[in-house]
Every structure is written in structure tokens, then in C-alpha cells.
Structure 1
């Protein structure tokens, strides 16, 4: 696979222009020169091969070559609302969620939450989303939403709605998941959701699910949950 660069701006006069950071990465880190071909993606699902036609100080222009490249997106839209774990474990969670094909991560505030990621923390994590997408081949950026309170999040009524629970159903007993559908998964903090929070989720129509016999860490549950959801996605007959 060609080296990939993020270029959200549309072409001007038929040429794509990399921003300063991406241009420096192209020329100074990757040592690419005029005439070489790389891959560009816009973060909205479009990707193309492009030939470098001009480089300068903190600037580069490229011309698309051939047809748009096929996407590498997941079979259904997976949204995971999760309490943020401590330290760099949330960074790891975001990185692996991108690699797993998750469409959106919503940081949750729950009764046992210990981390409330906002402001500069979220902006830094959004840069992680871009860098991970470059590495794993995704052309649509995972959305990292602002934090939301669990009570508010549970009011969502569309799509397949799952809540992680050590006493929940294993994947073979989950509701059917159709290709192209929206699936929402709630993952609680260390120590889990309180009994009251779990009861509210059940009353609101969310299905309690689990991914293994063992108790999983927050970030492990996110990755295992995404994998289980996508493995169950089936075409509608």
C-alpha cells in the first residue's frame, strides 16, 4: 500500500494541496520527491492515488491518478459510548477503535466515571484518529464526539442498542444486526455501571450483552464489542 496522507481540502485547479504538517511529513520524514505517487484521503470516505507535482517549504501539490480507491469501511455503523479509562489507556482505546472500524466514540459521564476528557485532550485524540487512519487504510475519519451524560445517551431510540454487562447475553443470543444498520454499544467505567444505571438501560430497551466469560477492562471491552458486532453483521434477505 502506498504511503497515505490526509488532505481534507478539495482540489484547486485540479491539484490537491497538503497542509503544512502533512507537507513536512511528505518531504522531510518520508523523503518523497516530485514524480512519486502516494495515496491521499479526505476523511469523508474518498481516497485516490496522486502524483507529486510540486514541493516547497511546508507545501506540496499533487495531481490525482486513476479512479478513486475502494473504501475499507465497516459493514455497519458502530457507535460506542464509553466511560474514559485513566491515563494513556483512553489513547489506546481511540486508536484501536479506529482500527476496528468504529464510526463514532462518545465519551460518557457515569456515576463512577473518573476521567472527563474535554478541550485539548479531545483535540489531541482527534489527531490520533487521523494518524491511525493513515496507518490502517481507513478513508473516513472516526468521529470523536463531545462528552455526554449516560442518562441523556440512553434516550436514543434508533438502531440496535446494546449495553455491556457481565451478566448479559453472549453474541449468539444478541439481536440480529443487518449490514448497513446502526449499532450503539454502551461500555461503563472501571467497576462497571451501577445497578441503577443498568436498570435504567434495560427499562429504556437496551439489551445487556457480554463478550467473554472474564471481566474485561474498559478498552478491551470496546475492541471486543466492536469485533463481535461487526462479525454478526449479516445481509438483509
Structure 2
């Protein structure tokens, strides 16, 4: 099955027309024609079965012939991850986390962040592509970048963890995460969180967490944390 994205659809939609770019992709590249069946999601949980009724290159139009609201995961995962110096590493994290299962992502700017300006346009495209590739009907939410202190003071959702490599006390993430609950995890930049940042998070109720014995890159740590939460909830 191949999944197409139609954000403006809902359970009451009877027909839908794709924009010019997607129409060209469906008709010219994929060689779909009138009468063919497409599977569509709006990124909000709905999966639609649709029949092509117009195979115009610029205005591919479909008729909705079936719909199903997919069940949400039994947990909600929000990860606040510092942007990496090399942009492609952060993009890799976004892609793989979407495939594994993540609900919300916030880039956080830390004291030791080497990248402090984040452009989310490309990030959104990568997340969308990964959602379609993994046949997921829920599009993860991508927030604008925010300073770490501001994030800590405004976000306290369910179980909150800060993963770091400092000498301060830490607890094994996989032994502390509880299933069927919302989880929020902070992952720092290449230079890690400062001791002051860790202390600030702990004072706000965040649990200091370890992700294993080895020192991990930012994007690797984020994927390990994401996968750990997914496994606990299987």
C-alpha cells in the first residue's frame, strides 16, 4: 500500500482534488488512471480509500469510497532535542523517530548548542515523507525552536526525563519509563547539557536519565530514547 497525504480531508469529505504537484506525481510518475484506488490520510488518524475519477495531470480528483479512524498509540511521546551541528543528522533523527513512533518534537537551544537557528520547512517535509513511508496516519507535531530554559518552565507533561552524561546522579531510562502514559524527554547538544541546565531541569521535576554505558551522539541518543519508550509500550 502507498499512502498519500490530503490534510484538508475529514470524515465528511466525499471528493478531494490534489494540488498540481501531487496530481502530476500520481498521474505521470506513478501512472495511475481513472478507476484506480488510492489510500489517503489527513495526518489526524483517518485512512481513506478513494477512487480516481479524474486523471488530469494538474487536477487529479478522487471520490472517497471508504474511511477508517486508526487507533492512537497507548502513549504520547514528546521529545525536545537540541539541533545538531550537521543538519543531516537531525533530519535522520526526525525520519527514524517518525517511523518508530513519536507524537511531538521541539528543537531546544541550549548553552552549548552549535546550531542556534532552525528552519523547520525541510524538517516538516521529512516528517511527512516518513509518516507516509511508515503507513502511519498520525502526523507528528513539529514545534518552533525554543530556548531550553523557556521550554523547561512551560512544559511538564506526564513523565519528564533529561538524558545527560554529566557526573550527576542518573537513572536507567528503561527502568523508569512507565507504559501507557505521556512521556517527555530532553536530549542535549553535542557538548551535552551544562550542569546548570541539568540542575534547572531537575528542580522543575525532570528525572535525570541514562541511555546506556556508551557516550552517544545527539541523534543516536534521541533514537535510543524513542525506541526505548516504544518497546516499553509494546
Give the structure-1-normalised TM-score. Answer: 0.89
What secondary structure does 1:68 align onto? strand
Please say which of residues 191-200 and 73-82 is displaced more in the overlay: 73-82
What secondary structure does 2:190 align onto? coil
Shift of 1:157: 2.7
Deviation per CA, 1:29-73: give whole Å up to 9, x if none: 2111111112100011111121111121322111222341635x5
Does the 8 Å CA contact 2:107/2:143 hold for their aligned counterparts?
Answer: yes
**Equivalent residue, structure 2, for 1:169:** 171
**Equivalent residue, structure 1, for 2:17:** 17
Structure 2 residue runs of 5 or longer lacking an equivalent are none
What secondary structure does 2:62 align onto? strand
Q: How large is the Cα RMSD of the aligned pairs?
A: 1.9
Shift of 1:172: 4.3
Deviation per CA, 1:83-104: give whole Å up to 9, x if none: 0112211111111121121111
- Report 1:141-220 matches (<5 A): 141-155=139-153, 156-166=155-165, 168-175=170-177, 177-179=178-180, 181-220=181-220
Distance 1:112 1:144 in 2: 22
Distance 1:3 1:130 in 2: 13
Does the 8 Å CA contact 2:162/2:207 hold for their aligned counterparts?
Answer: yes
Deviation per CA, 1:110-137: give whole Å up to 9, x if none: 000111343xx31111111111111111
Match for 1:124 among 114, 118, 122?
122
Distance 1:127 1:106 in 2: 16
Relative to structure 1, is the Cα distance of residues 81 and 48 closer, same or farther in structure 2, using a 3 angstrom cutoff? same
Give the structure-2-normalised TM-score. Answer: 0.90
Distance 2:210 2:112 in 1: 20
Structure 1 residue runs of 5 or longer lacking an equivalent are none
**Equivalent residue, structure 1, for 2:2:** 3
**Equivalent residue, structure 2, for 1:66:** 66
